[in-house]
Amino acid sequence: MTAHYALAIDIGGTFTDLVLHDPATGRFAAHKELTTPQAPELGVLAGIRQLLGREGISPSAITRVVHATTLLTNALIERRGAATGLLTTAGFRDILEIGHERKYEIYDLFLPLPAPLVRRAHRLEAEERIGPQGQVEIALDEASVIAAADRLVAMGIASLAIGFLHAYANAAHEQRAAALIGIRHPDLHLSLSSEVSPQIREYDRLSTTVANAYVKPLAVTYLDRLARDIAALGIAAPLFLMLSNGGLTHVDEAKRVPVRLLESGPAAGALAAAVLGGRSGARDMLAFDMGGTTAKLAVVRDGAPRVAHRFEAARERRFTAGSGLPINISTVELIEIGAGGGSIASLDPLGLLKVGPRSAGSAPGPACYGRGGSEPTVTDANLAMGHLEAEGFAGGTMRLDVAATEAALAGLAQQAGMASDALAAGIQAVVNEAMAGAARVHLAEHGGEAAGLALLVTGGGGPLHGPDVARRLGLRRVICPPAAGVASALGLLLAPARVDEVATLACRLESLTGEALEARFRALEAEARRVIGETLGPDAPVRAERAADLRFLGQGHELVTAMPPGACDIAAIRAAFEAAYRAVFAGVPPVAAVEVMNIRVAVSAATGDGRLDPMIPSGAPTMPHGTRRLSIGEVPLYRRAALVEGQIITGPAVVEDGMSTLLVPPGALATQEANGNLVVELPA
């Protein structure tokens, strides 16, 4: 019988990870390729050729390709999107600059505000007006629409966001404007707020729609090129894209609303952590993914990562809410910091050691890559301390340059007035504390604490740094899954297809009947099922989840509340809201009326059975492969592929596989489980 394979592609800031998976046996193979930032598809194609050639697999045997990328997020942060225009209701062109009319730090007189993605000159108006209940107050002036579009195209606009007032309640004017502009300028990319973010609150809705328009030409060009080049290799399989909510969709839907892909790579890592950690009985954990450019942290509760329905992109200050561009999409909730293997170490004006957020990336990369980098990075510190081996780095695709590392560290050590080995240890301590500090902030912001959580480590740097990060957080258990260095790519193959839809009601809950609310939910589910059907076929079994944004009358913020099972019952919904409110705020205010602002559905369908065979041998425990000299002395070195089921390693020790290295601290015990996870119990 001919074997069929699934291929996962995860493009990061430094490495592009590829995983080839046989769903029938659960066997998988992985490869790391340096990312090619100017043309990401080149690194993808080179990696596919290398992986297929090494495994002796024909391109025609691949039946599914799943992809995640940080390309669109980086385009927002670095302002590398398309020339974008905005067409909005007369009198509202400045909403993008007015924002929420509040400062995210009230005492800072020199506060940098997030700059709009669209210049004021490229924001034009049309004569029209829709009321909050969807009533037409001023009819659409079609001549003003055509005149504005002609003027914007003449200014060089390649993509246009159309965001009219209250279009979430009535999309007729936006749809008519799009039809007129499409006839006159068929090559212009269009994004309608009623399609991208059909929910209340003008600034957030416009910001999301503009962000979609800003990255849409880039996404369309890139995805078309990638699909064409993959097909040219002889791979006829469909291409799926990971969404920020941890689900999958097909290429056409991704090109229509590319803003939903912004956090796709980190979402895959959190999803993989939930699945792989669950195999060791961990239901509550902190997923820690450290790559070459950034580190990501996500909280997993009851076996699933938390999904939020709003986040901020391109923050002026990374940890400060309100300093970025609000984006109304469903996304796995995580925190991302500039602490990766390529993070550059330097001295600040006070002579204190700082690490990141500047990164050497993949070009030129850390000094040890031998590609022209001259500044010391976290990877250089790891190499100098013996945590990494010069031979066999990144699955044997690279040889590290020890002399270049020594030169880079010596230069900064001389400035700091300290020995190179002390500097390397300092770099380690600073970056680990930065990641632990970010975890503390993230947990505290959500009313939680680290106690009782396991730390699941992924990415090339996660197993290296995870045990010390866990120690700083007071955690006792570290889980290192198989193929930890490419776990985000592995998560792509475990992800279901998922579609989130939202609609604004903005009315009192008591004014609705259960039948009317049920009809609105069913309409949203039908649209989500349509997209799932286009992705997996019309017969795919689906699972639907419902929620609503509820608040007590007079409040300014809502609480997303899961709906009770079964058909809509108004009394049951109110009871569920009060229970959820009490769980968060420890009490319920004496207010009779409840408002429902938005209703939400999440429809998902499994894309496979998630079978993984880590190929753990049985038998007598294996002896160390050799020793590795660390700062604490000679320690035993184990090859992970040789560890047998149930084998226990006493720290200090080093465990290497092709894609990552795990440090077992002194006094810790690491157990190789049959499921492939290596579980480290840290000393008290």
Mean per-residue pLDDT, 427-447:
87
Domain end: 406, 429, 452, which one? 429
Mean per-residue pLDDT, 105-128:
92
* Coil/strand/helix, residue 32: strand
Asked if the structure places residue 50 within a domain, the reply is yes
pLDDT of 318 reads 67
* Coil/strand/helix, residue 121: helix
Residue 582 in tokens: 């009490």
Task: Provide the residue range defining the domain that includes 673.
Answer: 626-681
pLDDT of 657 reads 86
The CATH number assigned to the domain holding 596 equals 3.30.1490
Domain end: 237, 266, 281, which one? 281
Same domain, 637 and 578: no
Residue 264 in tokens: 């796709």
Asked if the structure places residue 419 within a domain, the reply is yes
Tally the C-alpha atoms within 13 A of residue 245's C-alpha that lie toward its C-beta: 24
pLDDT at 359 over 60: yes
For residue 598, give the DSSP letter: E
Tell me the C-alpha to C-alpha distance, in Å, between residue 51 and each of 33, 228, 239, 483.
Answer: 10, 19, 18, 15
Same domain, 406 and 540: no
Same domain, 553 and 587: yes
Same domain, 592 and 652: no
Asked if the structure places residue 316 within a domain, the reply is no
Same domain, 399 and 277: no
Same domain, 638 and 595: no
Express as a percent the part of the chain with pLDDT over 90: 60
pLDDT of 609 reads 60
Confidence band (pLDDT; 50, 70, 90) for 1?
very low
**What are the tens digits of pLDDT across the range 140-193?**
999 999 999 999 999 999 999 999 999 999 999 999 999 999 999 999 999 999
Asked if the structure places residue 197 within a domain, the reply is yes
Asked if the structure places residue 318 within a domain, the reply is no
**What are the tens digits of pLDDT across the range 592-618?**
899 999 999 999 988 766 677 778 888
Number of domains in the chain: 4
pLDDT of 172 reads 97
Cβ 226 vs Cβ 235: under 8 Å: no
Confidence band (pLDDT; 50, 70, 90) for 447?
low
Asked if the structure places residue 537 within a domain, the reply is yes
* Single-letter amino acid, residue 377: T
Mean per-residue pLDDT, 301-316:
85
Same domain, 132 and 256: yes
- pTM (predicted TM-score): 0.86
Same domain, 649 and 597: no
pLDDT of 611 reads 76
Same domain, 579 and 635: no
d(C-alpha 660, C-alpha 615), whole Å? 17
User: What SS3 string covers 285-341?
Assistant: EEEEEECCCCEEEEEEECCEECEECCEEECCCCCCCCCCCEEECCCEECEEEECCCC
**Cα angle 505-506-508, degrees, rounded to a multiple of 5:** 105
Asked if the structure places residue 299 within a domain, the reply is no
